[in-house]
């Protein structure tokens, strides 16, 4: 059973900030104690996590951006569950 549902509108946890890091050539998640280097997929998903869009809208946007990717909805849900468990999002 998923802890994240499609109606939720996740947001970055307070104190966390997502930004593109040219030297790392990737998105990073900054927080007071450090930095998390994200892979391309994680960066793409988190750029859409703004507290306004719900999970269904995030999946819809990514499906439109990357047509033909099988099981993209399940991949997004799985990533968001991991991000929630790591306390990156709320």
In a domain, 43, yes or no: yes
Q: Can you give the pTM of this predicted structure?
A: 0.92
How far apart CA 83 and CA 74 sit, in angstroms, is 14
Pairing of strands 26-31, 17-21: antiparallel
Could you read off the pLDDT of 5-23 as tens digits, one per residue? Answer: 999 999 999 999 999 999 9
Total domain count for the chain?
1
Residue 7 in any domain: the answer is: no
* Model pLDDT, residue 3: 80
- Check which CATH number belongs to the domain holding 71 and give it: 1.10.10.1150
Is residue 82 over pLDDT 80? yes
**54 within domain boundaries:** yes
Q: Where are the beta strands (DSSP E) in the chain?
A: 17-21, 26-31, 34-37
Note whether residue 5 is domain-resident: no
Give Rg (Cα) of the chain.
Answer: 13
Domain of 55, in residue numbers: 17-85
- CB neighbours (10 Å) of residue 72? 16
Angle at which helix 72-85 crosses helix 40-47, to 10 degrees, equals: 80
Q: 28-55: per-residue pLDDT in tens?
A: 999 999 999 999 999 999 999 999 999 9
90 within a domain of the structure (yes/no): no
């Amino acid at each position: 059973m998923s802890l994240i549902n499609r109606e939720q509108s996740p947001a970055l946890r307070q104190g966390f900030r997502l930004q593109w890091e040219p030297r790392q050539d990737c998105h990073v998640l900054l927080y007071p104690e450090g930095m998390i280097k994200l892979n391309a997929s994680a960066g793409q998903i988190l750029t859409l996590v703004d507290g306004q869009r719900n999970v269904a809208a995030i999946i819809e946007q990514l499906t439109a951006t990357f047509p033909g990717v099988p099981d993209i909805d399940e991949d997004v849900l799985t990533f968001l569950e991991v991000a929630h468990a790591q306390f990156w999002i709320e």
